[in-house]
Amino acid sequence: AQTVTQSQPEMSVQEAETVTLSCTYDTSESDYYLFWYKQPPSRQMILVIRQEAYKQQNATENRFSVNFQKAAKSFSLKISDSQLGDAAMYFCAYRSALRGATNKLIFGTGTLLAVQP
């Protein structure tokens, strides 16, 4: 069975600084997706960034980028130029891309990010 581990329950960053959130996962599958979701205090979960396992290039979305290390099964999220609005719970998630697999997500336990002004 696949598992996702986020070892940092809480993180803090100064405004305008850079922070990296860690995520490791375990799977025997070769084709999968990895996601970072953000859940602000209002609770609406939104997608931050997505990575397909077969793509070697790290995904980037504006100030958000990932460091995808497939062999190490690591998928960290880097937030550059942190803003107050980045304060939220961040979840790392895994989904199989194998033919016939369900679309269910397997989540880590989350990292609560605080942004200090």
Partner 1 sequence: DVKVTQSSRYLVKRTGEKVFLECVQDMDHENMFWYRQDPGLGLRLIYFSYDVKMKEKGDIPEGYSVSREKKERFSLILESASTNQTSMYLCASIQQGRRGETQYFGPGTRLLVL
Residues 53-112, interacting with partner 1 (CB under 8 A): 91, 97, 102-105, 107-110
Residue 11 binds partner 1 (CB under 8 A): no
Percent of the chain that is helix, strand, coil (3-state, to 5): 5, 50, 45
Q: Could you tell me the two tokens for 18?
A: 């850079």
CA atoms of 20 and 86, how far apart (whole Å)? 12
Find the shortest distance in angstroms from Cβ 107 to partner 1.
4
Interface ranges with partner 1 (CB under 8 A): 4, 6, 9, 33, 35, 37, 42-47, 50, 52, 91, 97, 102-105, 107-110
